[in-house]
């Protein structure tokens, strides 16, 4: 599953720089997570880094974006391949 940030977010700015996939950005009222980029840190870390640093615990799994660990790893691999394709050699 991708993660989501709830409206309990206090906009403390600690989650955004921790995301290795750059899936977190400022939304209209609080931070949001792009489910197309969120791998729950699979491929990077053992646990989601945003959840680790969030002081108000407002980052649950998003039931609307259910994914298996294998699917999250495939997404990680696609994101890594796309990032390498845009980097100059």
Longest dimension (CA), the chain: 42
Alpha-carbon gap, residue 88 to 34, rounded angstroms: 25
The CATH number given to whatever domain includes residue 38 is 3.30.70.20
Please check whether residue 2 lies inside any domain of the structure: no
Alpha-carbon gap, residue 77 to 89, rounded angstroms: 19
- pTM exceeds cut of 0.85: yes
Q: Determine contact, residues 4/36, Cβ cutoff 8 Å.
A: no
Q: Quick one: tokens of 79?
A: 């994101």
Please check whether residue 5 lies inside any domain of the structure: no
Q: pLDDT tens digit string along 21-70?
A: 999 999 999 999 999 999 999 999 999 999 999 999 999 999 999 999 99
């Amino acid at each position: 599953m991708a993660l989501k940030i709830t409206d309990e977010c206090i906009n403390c700015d600690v989650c955004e720089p921790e995301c290795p996939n750059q899936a977190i950005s400022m939304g209209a009222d609080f931070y949001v997570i792009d489910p197309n980029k969120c791998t729950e840190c699979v491929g990077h870390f053992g646990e989601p880094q945003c959840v680790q640093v969030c002081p108000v615990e407002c980052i649950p799994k998003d039931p609307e974006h259910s994914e298996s660990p294998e699917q999250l790893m495939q997404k990680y691999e696609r994101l890594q391949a796309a990032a390498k394709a845009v980097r100059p050699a």
